A and B are shown apart, each in its own frame.
Chain A
Amino acid sequence: MKAVETAIALLLTAGLVLIIEQATWSGGGASLLCTLTIWSSIAQGALALVAACELTRARWIQYVRTDLLRFTPMLLLTALLFPALGPSLSIYPWSQAPTFWLSPDFFILRNCALSLLCWLAARTFALHSNRRSAQTGFFAVVYLFAFILCQSFIAFDWVMSLDYPWRSTLFGLYFAIEALLAAIALSALLLAISRRSPTTEPSTLEARRDLATLLFGFSILWAGLFFSQFLVIWYGNLPEERGFLFIRGWTAPYQGWALLFLAGIFLLPFGVFLSRRAKEISGVVSAVAAVVLGAFALERWIFIAPQVAVSVPALLLESLLFAALSLYLVTADRAPAASP
């Protein structure tokens, strides 16, 4: 991919997002926060999935590895857009009485630095992975460390501190696993749109089955983590803790949406992929993957929206821009399809 074209695409996306954020109906930073939370997790998760597969020598990744690595520039975009949240930090309750850790300047500084660090680690890893260099494993480990660190900060800093002083120690790990789940769903979609020929079709089928199995397994893992968090808070029944669940799980309009994302992330992949046959049908795997990604975005919205007014039109427009950028990154330098 030509670097200049990519840079233009990134700048164009950033500019359009910032223009949307300037509009009076955009919600004063809340929609940008929501967009960044969704897309930085997808992009970081995509790279983390490749890194984990490099370390475990998973064979199915070869079909989508290059496509997933192309998400690297998106990490830079999220890092560059994050300071735009600066003027909107009043959406955080701690901004009224800042502490050393939760102060506006330090908040912006550490998260920008971490996002840039994550992009650098991803870029180095992607370069080595594309070259198939002997050091790929080492840089995969480095990137995975950066990934866990960034996901933890997205969870604890970006999202959890909206409900300050509410806290959940599981939040960081939960976000990291969810980012991987989103990346697996993304891989299933990328596999469906990848070029195929009759000679590669049987192995693609095997890869699709493996991806569907992973989607199935990770949806169970996600449900386990979700339940672990839910049960401890619900059972403890402490006033300072249960509010988080009560707003999102028992009050309108979030209750219905919450049930929907539960069904989308867990019940659907679990129910569908119990069938071995369903794992082999491209349309079924792609549809389930698309629902999982949608439910993942919906969940992130539910985390944020009860605390700050997120403008849904702005969120949808920004997400569309990021989706268009993703499509561009994945397809821009693909070689023309070889004739069968």
Chain B
Amino acid sequence: MIEHRDDQIERDVLAAMGRPGAGWWIALATSALFFFGGLILWGYQIFRGLGVAGINNPVGWGVYIANFVFWVGIAHSGTLISAVLFLFRARFRSSFNRAAEAMTVIALMTAGLFPLIHLGRVWVFYYLLPYPNERQLWVNFRSPLIWDVFAVTTYMIVSAVFFYVGMLPDLAVARRRLGGIRSRIFRVLSLGWRGTLRQWHHYGKLYILLAAFATPLVASVHSIVSWDFAMSIVPGWHTTIFAPYFVAGAILSGTAMVITLVAPMRRILKLEAYITPAHFESIAKILLLTSLIVSYSYIVEYALAFYGDQPPEAGQFSYRALGDYRVFFWAMILFNSVLPLSLFIKQLRLNIRYLFVLSLFVNIGMWLERFVLIVSALAHEYEPYAWGTYSPSFVEIGITLGSFGLFFSLYLLFLKTLPVLSITELKEHQP
């Protein structure tokens, strides 16, 4: 009976890796089109110079930095769902962890492009790296931007290792079940996994070690991203709550993106038996909790901006709500704080279609949050003579769409090349 059930799980999960349908090809072609469009525009920017972007003085950071923060945020939920929920022994993670881990790696690859794009002269990117040189020129280790290089790189390496190690037993299953060239590829990738007691023992130890290591890493990476802003003395940026606020925001956006990706995946790949509404309800609770933390941060930031005698701070927060970017600001409040409150209703938490639509709004809201935070602070600093506005150029918009194209292209490729659910854990958790 158990063997039959295990066999069914293996067949169902690996069936998702079967010959792709027309829908998959259309989706991939569309995503790739956006990606190549973005790539061409980046080439145009390199050829013409950074002047083709809308960034200016005083708004020197625009959508490129907003995109970087957004994609790093998206990358957070993978490790949260996988590592943190593993440590807390939450079983529902098995329905989402593989997709979330893949999303993490892909989102980090996407995020990593934006500092390079923002550099303008991308060919001198190695100035960011501390390499030995005869002139003894070193990077500024006191700059949070350099902390970013180390933090994001470490996170990328640990996430990729965590993703790969967690997949080893499933790669061995794929090696056994799939034929042709794929069997040979999985033979190499599964590193000689035989499923012996000794191998499982080592695997268990390594996996929990990686989970324990990755958990504080999740918090530290986005804290460091937040310090890109908080270390400055720009009104609206220099605030102590930024680290936990950014971490909560990252988990909120990442969880929303997991729902955006998994809800259609479940239906298209016929995985309804393994990803149930109850699993979605659990992840919706995380979405609700992080939305509440983010909303709390909004309230505290606003309240304390008007506490004491801080005209620049108060001016900045008035500008956000009433100034040039007020539409984006109120949309952000609606999408990140108001709409998720509907998740207090159990029926809505169990409604996958509703969750899918809500997750799209939260994704938009979180992108807008980064945009409002970055642009409005620079546009309205201390001195009125230095105030200005910013609107992204077609190059910036095109590259932003291109990043979404890259993300979805890679995710679609993942769906057809690797097991999308953890076969091992599904077998463990079956009643």
Q: Which residues of A pack against B, CB within 8 Å?
A: 56, 101, 141, 148, 152, 156, 164-173, 220-221, 224-225, 228-229, 231-233, 235-236, 238
Contacts and interface: CB of A to CB of B under 8 A. Distances in A.
Contact of B240 (A56, A152, A164, A170): A170
B244 A232 contact: no
Contacts of A168: 240-241
Contacts of A56: 88
Contacts of B181: none
B1 interface: no
A170 B231 contact: no
Given A224-B243, A225-B244, A228-B223, A236 B238 contact: yes
A167 B307 contact: yes
A230 to B, nearest CB: 9
B183 interface: no
Interface string B285-311: 000000000001100110110011110
Contacts of B223: 224, 228
Contacts of A141: 344
B380 to A, nearest CB: 19
Contacts of A235: 227, 231
B297 to A, nearest CB: 8
Closest 9 CB pairs of A and B: A165-B308, A169-B241, A228-B243, A170-B240, A170-B241, A229-B240, A168-B240, A169-B239, A232-B240
Contacts of B22: none
B239 A228 contact: no
B238 A167 contact: no
Contacts of A225: 243-244
Contacts of B55: none
Contacts of B219: 221, 224
Given A152-B300, A165-B307, A228-B223, A236 B244 contact: no
Contacts of B220: 224
Contact of B231 (A167, A171, A172, A236): A236
Contacts of B227: 231-232, 235
A220 B216 contact: yes
Contacts of B361: none
A152 B307 CA distance: 14
Interface of B: 88, 216, 219-220, 223, 227, 230-231, 233, 238-244, 296-297, 300-301, 303-304, 307-310, 344
Nearest to A238: B233
Nearest to A57: B90
B271 to A, nearest CB: 26
Nearest to A164: B308
A170 B297 CA distance: 9
B296 A148 contact: yes
Contacts of B88: 56
A173 B233 contact: no
Given A232-B231, A236-B231, A236-B238, A169 B301 contact: yes
A228 B223 CA distance: 8
Nearest to B344: A141
Chain B CB within 10 A, most for which of A148, A164, A224, A232:
A232
Nearest to B142: A235
Given A169-B304, A238-B233, A232 B216 contact: no
B190 to A, nearest CB: 31
A53 B199 CA distance: 35
Nearest to A166: B308
Contacts of A156: 303-304, 307
A313 to B, nearest CB: 34
B308 to A, nearest CB: 3
B41 to A, nearest CB: 36
Nearest to A165: B308
Contacts of B344: 141
A94 to B, nearest CB: 9
Given A101-B307, A164-B308, A233 B240 contact: yes
Contact of B233 (A171, A172, A236): A236
A166 B292 CA distance: 26
A99 to B, nearest CB: 9
A178 B370 CA distance: 29
